[in-house]
Amino acid sequence: MSKLDFISRQFSKTEKKRFEHYSVTRIWHLLDDLSIKFVTQQYISRPEGYALTDMFFPQLQVHVEIDEGYHLAPIQINRDVFREVDIINATGHEIFRVDVTKCIEEINEQISQIVKQIKSKKEIMTDFKPWDIEAETSTKTYIDKGFIHLKDDCAFRTMVDAANCFGNNFKAKGIWKGSAKHPKESDKLIWFPKLYKNGRWNNSISNDETKIREICELPEFAKQHIDSVLNGVHHKRIVFARVKSPLGDIMYRFKGEYELDKNSTNYEDGLLWKRISEQIKTYSSD
């Protein structure tokens, strides 16, 4: 996918809200910097569920929220403030706001200020990595780097691309199972769960993403599955959750390394996995 393709598809996601769309296109064109990535309508985990933010710059950890008229009713203001606090709490990110109930001259001035702040935020970052749309979903990028961290906002297009970050050398376009072995660390699996109800499985992740509950809803199979995991050797899992990308494609997003919590695992509640690391070592297949 080219940057033009990516950017223009991001624009078209906002086109139903005209003022949001005006603001998003203006911020991006005035920023005028192809080394900066943005996505629109990014999901952010919050203590109480998820929120969408209107525009997100992942390298800079900056969000822009466009306040349409309905945002500004008193109840909505409170909700927005809570949401903002939640997002900051959940992510440590910064949030800028555009009030699009103002006249166009004032909106343009607000956007100029935001663009300035985004530019200076990039300038003072010591570890800014230019947006590379090919490299960001490439196995080689993460093998060369030596690790994957949550901050990398890492997502692969296939399970093979993810599994090959750990010494595997799969050739196929797809993996037909929900996990792959880790050839270098024998106590770990590379796991590709759907973290929502799906067929016989009902997996979920906590809002702060530190816990994954793995539940099989087929009673006769559930017990057997739990026993086999408890008695098996793979009590750690590197998690790439199956998600929809900002553009609606399926991707496998890195969520960290999780370990089985045996004390909280039982036949009623299923298996509980707790995050033990936000960063994981990568290996070449040589």
Rounded to a whole number of angstroms, the minimum distance from the CB of residue 244 to a copy of itself is: 19
Kindly tell me which of 72 and 230 has the beta carbon lying closer to a copy of itself. Answer: 72
Q: Give the span between the Cα atoms of 74 and 250, in whole angstroms.
A: 38
Kindly tell me which of 19 and 201 has the beta carbon lying closer to a copy of itself. Answer: 19
> Which residues contact a copy of itself by CB under 8 A?
2-5, 7-9, 11-12, 15, 18-19, 21-22, 25-26, 29-30, 32, 34, 100, 103-105, 107-108
Kindly tell me which of 135 and 150 has the beta carbon lying closer to a copy of itself. Answer: 135
Rounded to a whole number of angstroms, the minimum distance from the CB of residue 41 to a copy of itself is: 15
Kindly tell me which of 3 and 223 has the beta carbon lying closer to a copy of itself. Answer: 3
Kindly tell me which of 118 and 215 has the beta carbon lying closer to a copy of itself. Answer: 118
Rounded to a whole number of angstroms, the minimum distance from the CB of residue 103 to a copy of itself is: 7
Q: Give the span between the Cα atoms of 161 and 34, in whole angstroms.
A: 25
Q: Give the span between the Cα atoms of 168 and 156, in whole angstroms.
A: 15
3-state secondary structure of 238: strand
Rounded to a whole number of angstroms, the minimum distance from the CB of residue 43 to a copy of itself is: 23
Q: From residue 53, how far is each of 1, 38, 65, 232 by CA, in Å?
A: 23, 11, 6, 41
Rounded to a whole number of angstroms, the minimum distance from the CB of residue 232 to a copy of itself is: 49
* Cα within 13 Å of Cα(67), Cβ side: 22
By CB atoms closer than 10 A (0-12, 13-18, 19+), residue 150 is middle
Per this entry, what is the length of the chain?
Answer: 286
